[in-house]
Amino acid sequence: MASIYIETFGCQMNEADSQYIANRASASGYAVTADAAQATVVVLNTCTVRDNAEKRAYGRMAHFKALKAANPSVKIVVCGCLAEQDRDRMQGKAPYVDAVFGTRDLARLGDALAEWHDAFAEDDEDLTEQRLLVDPLGGRGDCVGDAFAHVRAFVNVQRGCSYYCTYCIVPHVRGRFDNRPIGDILAECRRAIERGAREITLVGQTVNAYAEPASGADFADLLVAVAALDGLDRLTFLTSHPKDYTAKLAATMGALPQLNPRFHLPVQCGSDPILRRMNRKYTVANYRDKIALFRETCPDWALTTDLIVAFPGESDDDFEATLALCDEIGFAQAFMFVYSPRRGTPAALWDQIAPEIGNERLRRLAAVVDRHVRAWHERKRGTVVRALVQGPSRKDPAKIAAKTIDNVTVIAPLGSFSQAELAVRPWIDVRVDEAFTWGCAGELLATAERYDGAARRVDARATIDLIALR
Give me the residues that bind ligand SF4 (CB under 6 A), please: 161, 163-165, 168, 170-171, 205-206, 241
Nearer to ligand SF4, 161 or 259 (CB): 161
Q: Is the CB of 117 or the CB of 241 nearer to ligand SF4?
A: 241
Nearer to ligand SF4, 3 or 345 (CB): 345
> Could you give the count of Cα atoms lying within 13 Å of 431 in the half-sphere of its Cβ?
9
Q: Where are the alpha helices (DSSP H) in 213-283?
A: 219-227, 247-255, 272-278
Helices (H), 165-240: 170-174, 182-194, 219-227
Kindly tell me which of 87 and 243 has the beta carbon lying closer to ligand SF4: 243
CB within 8 A of 272, min separation 6: which ones?
A: 283, 284
Half-sphere exposure of 361 (CA within 13 A, CB side): 26
Q: Please state the closest distance from residue 357 (CB atom) to ligand SF4, in A.
A: 23
Considering beta carbons, is residue 153 or 161 the nearer one to ligand SF4?
Answer: 161
**Cβ atoms within 10 Å, residue 75:** 22
Single-letter code of the amino acid located at 179? N
Q: Residue 153 or residue 275: which is nearer to ligand SF4 going by CB?
A: 275
One-letter-per-residue 3-state SS of 206-220: CHHHCECCCCCCEHH
Least Å from the CB of residue 370 to ligand SF4 = 24
Q: Are 310 and 301 in contact (CB under 8 A)?
A: no
The CA distance from 425 to 457, in Å, is 12
Q: Which amino acid is it at 406?
A: D
Closer of 58 and 164 to ligand SF4 (Cβ): 164
| Cβ 332 to ligand SF4 shortest distance, Å | 21
**Of all helices (H) and strands (E), which one includes residue 375?**
helix 355-378
Nearest alpha carbon to residue 112 among 103, 104, 101, 127: 101
Least separation in angstroms between CB 205 and ligand SF4: 4
Q: How far is the CB of 188 from ligand SF4 (least distance, A)?
A: 22
CB 245 within 8 A of CB 254: no
Nearer to ligand SF4, 205 or 407 (CB): 205
CB of 420 to ligand SF4, least distance (A): 40
Count Cβ atoms below 10 Å from residue 17 Cβ, excluding itself: 25
Q: Which candidate, 105, 205, 128, places its Cα nearest to that of 163?
A: 205
- Residue 170 CB, shortest distance to ligand SF4, in Å, is 4
Separation between Cα atoms, residue 98 and residue 110, nearest integer Å: 15
Amino acid found at 68 = K
Considering the complex, state which of residue 13 and residue 22 has its C-beta at the smaller distance from ligand SF4.
13
For the CB of residue 241, give the shortest distance to ligand SF4 in the complex, in Å: 5
Q: Minimum CB separation from ligand SF4 for residue 206, in Å?
A: 5
